[in-house]
């Protein structure tokens, strides 16, 4: 069975696997989902974030990261905007967890 990405069945170039692996690892580190979409002319890469302020304020839970003629280029191009956005997402989730922890601590102290 061939996948249309490489001349050998189910054999992907290491550069492609590295680009996708780097993108997925970065997304995981920042708690952001990534979607790959073939669009007929190439590939689009999107981010997906659940329960982030942009979702509530702007009704955005997903958006574009890159668009390119091949998957390797699209994945590589998506890395920089993902890192930039991911830092904001990580800071938000860290702060939200800190607030929850502080609230739980105050509740416990009030009960004693």
Furthest-apart CA atoms within the chain: distance in Å: 69
Calculate mean pLDDT across residues 22-37: 90
- How confident is the model over 55-97, as pLDDT tens digits? 555 555 778 899 999 999 999 999 999 998 888 877 877 888 8
Please determine, for residue 42, whether its predicted confidence score (pLDDT) is greater than 80: yes
- With CA atoms as reference, report the closest residue to 65 among 96, 17, 13, 20: 20
Residue 109: predicted pLDDT: 76
Calpha distance 95→58 (Å, rounded): 20
Residue 91: predicted pLDDT: 81
Beta strands in the chain (DSSP E): 33-38, 43-48, 62-68
What's the predicted TM-score (pTM) here? 0.68
Task: Tell me the three state secondary structure of residue 62.
Answer: strand
């Amino acid at each position: 069975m061939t996948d249309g990405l490489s001349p050998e069945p189910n054999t992907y170039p290491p550069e492609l696997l590295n680009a996708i692996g780097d993108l997925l690892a970065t997304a995981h580190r920042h708690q952001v989902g990534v979607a790959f979409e073939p669009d007929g002319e190439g590939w689009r890469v999107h981010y997906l974030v659940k329960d982030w302020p942009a979702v509530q304020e702007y009704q955005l839970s997903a958006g574009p990261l890159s668009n390119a003629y091949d998957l390797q280029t699209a994945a590589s191009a998506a890395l920089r905007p993902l890192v930039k956005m991911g830092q904001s997402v990580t800071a938000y989730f860290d702060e939200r967890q800190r607030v929850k922890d502080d609230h739980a601590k105050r509740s416990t102290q009030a009960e004693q």
